[in-house]
Chains A and B, each alone.
Chain A
């Protein structure tokens, strides 16, 4: 009976509460939309207190806690999936290609010392030696050499090189050099022999030595 009697009161209280709530929210909206609120927010953000609080928060365990939560809730994976599933990546790539970012990046890599360091490191690595050894041992090289030897063009090139003036001149010079060496040796020995046989003949006949110095054999 009393409950029934109180129903109007309860309804009135609820209605009053809703009115107060609506009025409060409206007030808050007005306050937040005002210039003063904006000014207050700017001042708060620019204040030393906020910077201090932020510094303390970053220095404290809060960052690690947030990171753990991010990992635990797979925030990064979900964000990445959302980005990759949309058209954003295609748009970003398209924009990058249009603005020549790829060319600039390639030029920077080619001009910079990083590529050289990477290539040198790769060439000096044991893995590269193994790769080259495998490539040489592979049937691919045998096949390539066999095909090369079977090709007519190779022998045309070889013939051209063999008949080129540079090669023929080199062979001629080599031959002439050998012939000259032999002739020089014969000349030197023959002139030594000239001097020797003359000395012997003059001694045998008890004649004085030749007034003129003989040839190269005696300097």
Chain B
């Protein structure tokens, strides 16, 4: 008697539903491997997309900071509370910036800036969307690559798959999404 036969009918249905859900999730989060050779994206295109994303992040952050600052000026809060608000604001900005990239890479595989430039971040081997963990790692490595005067991005110019240091460490590539 197999394992499925030993289970009650309700448990069998639950297992089937779970398998079905995993199948659907895998299909949704899998980027279909391009039939043609992947078109790896270069430094300029990726820089433009990154700049657009930075603009989006900062415009939203500035708008929120303005609104909170105006409210704080009207409420005449004590200086201690204001310092606390600044600290919370800085923390919020950090999480907003990190979440923007991590959520975009781990869900759609592309940020709004990437979408405008028709590029996508994906796994270097099977071209699937990165997991949340690898997205976080990629963001950390990207930050590290920028620290030595952006030297970590120079390999994009020489690597055959146009990968930067953060791509190599996170096992990711950036490919084009539009047809050639």
Contacts and interface: CB of A to CB of B under 8 A. Distances in A.
Contacts of A210: 160
A187 B158 contact: no
Contacts of B117: 183, 186-187, 190
Contacts of B43: 194, 197-198
A194 B41 CA distance: 8
B1 interface: no
A219 to B, nearest CB: 9
A190 B160 contact: no
Interface stretch (A117-125, A133-141, A149-157, A200-208): A200-208
Interface residues of A, number: 20
Contacts, number: 55
A183 B112 CA distance: 12
Contacts of A106: none
Contacts of B37: 212
A215 B180 CA distance: 8
A200 B48 CA distance: 19
Interface residues of B, number: 20
Interface string A177-214: 00000010011001101110110011001010011101
Contacts of A207: 158
A24 B117 CA distance: 127
Contacts of B160: 210-212
Q: Looking at chain A's contact residues, is the secondary structure mostly helix, strand, loop, or mixed?
A: helix
A183 to B, nearest CB: 5
B74 interface: no
A216 interface: yes
Interface string B76-100: 0000000000000000000000000
Nearest to A216: B180
A204 to B, nearest CB: 10
Contacts of B176: 215
B16 interface: no
A183 B41 contact: no
A116 to B, nearest CB: 54
Nearest to A211: B160
Given A201-B158, A202-B157, A202-B158, A215 B41 contact: yes
**Most chain-A CB neighbours within 10 Å: which of B42, B118, B161?**
B42
Contacts of A215: 39, 41-42, 45, 176
9 A-B pairs with the lowest CB-CB distances in the bound complex, closest first = A194-B42, A193-B44, A201-B157, A190-B45, A194-B44, A190-B44, A198-B157, A190-B48, A183-B116
Interface of A: 183, 186-187, 190-191, 193-195, 197-198, 201-202, 205, 207, 210-212, 214-216
23 contacts: A183-B116, A186-B116, A187-B45, A187-B118, A187-B178, A193-B44, A193-B45, A194-B43, A194-B45, A194-B162, A195-B42, A197-B42, A197-B43, A197-B157, A198-B157, A201-B157, A202-B157, A202-B158, A212-B37, A215-B39, A215-B41, A215-B42, A215-B176
